[in-house]
Structure 1
Amino acid sequence: MSVAIIAEDFAGMRAQASGLVERAGLDWHFHPVRIEGIWRRLPTRFCPAPLRATAPIDLPSSTGLLVSVGGTGGAVAAAVRKRTGLKLVQIQNPRMAAHHFDLIIANVHDAIAGPNIVSVRTALHGMTKAKLDLARARWHERLAVPGKALLSVLIGGANGRFSFGVDDANTLADRLIGIMGHAEVAVALTPSRRTDAEALAVLKARLASHPAWIWDGEGENPYHGILACADAIAVTTDSVSMISEAVATEAPVMIIDLPGRSRRISAFVQILAEADRVRPFTGEWAPWAVTALDDTGRGADEMIRRLAL
């Protein structure tokens, strides 16, 4: 049996679905949702015929389960479920009636409940202990600075709710330089595709004379290694996915506040803060003892149990 993942073609959505499916020990194939015409301007759940509004979704005969992500993916997958009779697992709040799905796995901060809903504290992902162990072995010599702890820094960017510009980059640089000046700490920093080029240039210039390594986008992506080798992690508040992957490690995680506001992300961070899994990034080097927090495995276990896979 294989699993059809149905979602908009965003890396974060694909990572959540593939992470869940792989934890369940299943193979998957991806079917991107590309809404066309006037329906691109309206929530897909209002579309009377979602399968006519998107590019064709053709499933191989081996498909035994559907997994959808987000509101648009959920609306299209619900139509596929109706057409095929296959069971459907929805990731994230679908913003439509729960009876369209056999199982919904949503974050606690989405504040939805029901007999077919499983609540998880973190976004689903594929960052397993085995992958982290492998990444640590591959990246330790490249990232380690003798005699210094490693602070890994994950930078996002503008997403419609938060921003990260030149002023924010200067503030972050001041704090990182302060940490490196007062403690035996080196920095490894990776931007995301959303990171503003001018803000990144500021970080590169300001940190150039310090024990800081910044990925330039060339060669092998160091993301897994930066997570695996960290003694502590600082991550910008704009990304639930990055924060979720960070807290799946055994390193304490500090949240870099950014200009902007999101009720959902604030609620998510608060849940992790109440478990003392994250703390605000203040520019002080003060790691604390933590344990890895990852609800992806529980989501996969519930999927297997409830759907008798």
Structure 2
Amino acid sequence: MAGDTRPLTIWAVSDGRAGIEAQVEGLARAVARQRPAEVVLKRIAWRFGLGRLPTSLNPGAPTLLAKGEIAPPWPDIWIAAGRATLPLSRRQRRRSGGRSFVVQVQDPRMALDAFDLVIPPIHDELTGPNVFPILGSPNRLAPDKLSSELARFADRLAPLPRPCIALIVGGKSKAHDLSEAHARNLARQIAEAVRAAGGALLVSFTRRTPAAAQAAMRAEFENLPGWIWDGTGDNPYFAFLAAADQILVTEDSTNLATDAAASGKPLYVLPMSGHSPKLARFHADLAARGVSRPFGGVFETWTYPPLAETERAAAELLRRFDAAR
């Protein structure tokens, strides 16, 4: 509304899974960096097994939620991701009387006219007048995030020998897996390269990393300088990206590669068992832009502009939001 100078209200809605919430929170906070706004995280879950039904069969009534309150006053901007949010997102414009500008991150795999804006990854190959594809996925890497996180963990990271190599390990998904044997082989290659470079290794596993794969990799890395985060205490994930001279990520996750690419550091992609055509297109795009390379056992240095797709998506969101008022 013209002349309205109050801060925007933004709801970032997800089922609370780390990778999904990171996308909606990252986009919401990018909008808030470009315009004053209050960001509220909403984590939802459905009663009676409704979350397992096709979206068209879920009535989407907030009273049927087992977790999360969805009630007025409605936000100016609704940003959601994940299947669990779709029954709510597709009704939010009507429910709010048109107050909420409804944004869905990822391909909703349904009619797009329920949304004001859909922000899928380019590799989904989704098109439409209200579609704004980006490379990868939105993330929480604000311009000052890396420096502030590095400062938090400086006592542990600053004394380490260079180069520092960050290794971010995914795991089992619909398309990929990380067996104990494959994890051990990868770890041996990485350990040899770190020793040859005379540097240190910073390792972060995800919730999807199988226990056997973790154990195999830890065994190979135990005598190297560095830090293998054990999942306790404050998470040094962003500090690892900030401290790194080179970053390795497994190929199973868009989020991991997007975060690494936002740092501007040389990025190596590690192969896993299985194959995803969509992720293959994503990694091919990163490689074509000079962001990533396959790991060949030797650490190299190259440069590229840090990936800033979240900021670009936030600017487009606000442009369309203003046009709709």
Q: Normalising by structure 2, report the TM-score.
A: 0.88
Distance in 1, Cα, partners of 2:69 & 2:110:
21
**What letter is aligned with 2:309?**
D
Residue 89 of structure 1 aligns to a residue whose secondary structure is: strand
Residue number in structure 1 paired with 2:42: 31
Residue number in structure 1 paired with 2:15: 8
Residue 27 of structure 1 aligns to a residue whose secondary structure is: strand
1:180 to partner: Cα distance: 2.2
**What letter is aligned with 1:50?**
G
Residue number in structure 2 paired with 1:47: 57
Residue number in structure 2 paired with 1:78: 90
**What letter is aligned with 1:9?**
G
1:65 corresponds to which of 71, 77, 87: 77
**What letter is aligned with 2:90?**
A
Contact 2:168-2:248 at 8 Å conserved across structures? yes
When residues 292 and 208 of structure 1 are mapped into structure 2, their CA distance, relative to the original with a 3 A threshold, is same
Distance in 2, Cα, partners of 1:21 & 1:217:
26
Question: Is 1:237 the equivalent of 2:251?
Answer: yes
Residue number in structure 2 paired with 1:260: 274
Residue 144 of structure 2 aligns to a residue whose secondary structure is: helix
1:118-157 to 2 correspondences below 5 Å: 118-145=132-159, 147-157=161-171
Distance in 2, Cα, partners of 1:14 & 1:38:
21
Residue 238 of structure 1 aligns to a residue whose secondary structure is: coil
Question: Which 5+ residue runs of structure 2 have no aligned equivalent?
Answer: 1-7
Residue number in structure 2 paired with 1:289: 303
Residue number in structure 2 paired with 1:176: 190
Distance in 1, Cα, partners of 2:170 & 2:215:
14
1:304 to partner: Cα distance: 0.6
Contact 2:164-2:244 at 8 Å conserved across structures? yes
Contact 1:151-1:185 at 8 Å conserved across structures? yes
Question: Which 5+ residue runs of structure 1 have no aligned equivalent?
Answer: none
Contact 1:66-1:81 at 8 Å conserved across structures? no
Residue 195 of structure 2 aligns to a residue whose secondary structure is: helix
Residue number in structure 2 paired with 1:277: 291
Aligned-residue CA RMSD (Å): 2.0
**What letter is aligned with 1:90?**
Q
Deviates more, 1:107-116 or 1:211-220: 211-220
1:104-119 to 2 correspondences below 5 Å: 104-119=118-133
Contact 1:176-1:283 at 8 Å conserved across structures? yes
Residue 255 of structure 1 aligns to a residue whose secondary structure is: strand
Deviates more, 1:29-38 or 1:262-271: 29-38
When residues 195 and 304 of structure 1 are mapped into structure 2, their CA distance, relative to the original with a 3 A threshold, is same
Contact 1:93-1:112 at 8 Å conserved across structures? yes
When residues 146 and 53 of structure 1 are mapped into structure 2, their CA distance, relative to the original with a 3 A threshold, is closer
Distance in 2, Cα, partners of 1:64 & 1:254:
40
Distance in 2, Cα, partners of 1:48 & 1:211:
52
Q: How many positions carry a matched residue from both structures?
A: 308
Distance in 1, Cα, partners of 2:17 & 2:199:
34
CA-to-aligned-CA distance 1:13-54 (integer Å, 9 cap, x gap) = 21111111111112222333323435443321x226222754
| Percent identity over paired residues | 30
Distance in 2, Cα, partners of 1:146 & 1:93:
42
1:176 to partner: Cα distance: 1.5
Distance in 2, Cα, partners of 1:303 & 1:48:
28
Contact 1:188-1:214 at 8 Å conserved across structures? yes
Residue 12 of structure 2 aligns to a residue whose secondary structure is: strand
Residue number in structure 2 paired with 1:159: 173
Distance in 1, Cα, partners of 2:233 & 2:256:
21
Question: Is 1:19 the equivalent of 2:26?
Answer: yes
When residues 48 and 178 of structure 1 are mapped into structure 2, their CA distance, relative to the original with a 3 A threshold, is closer
Q: Normalising by structure 1, report the TM-score.
A: 0.93
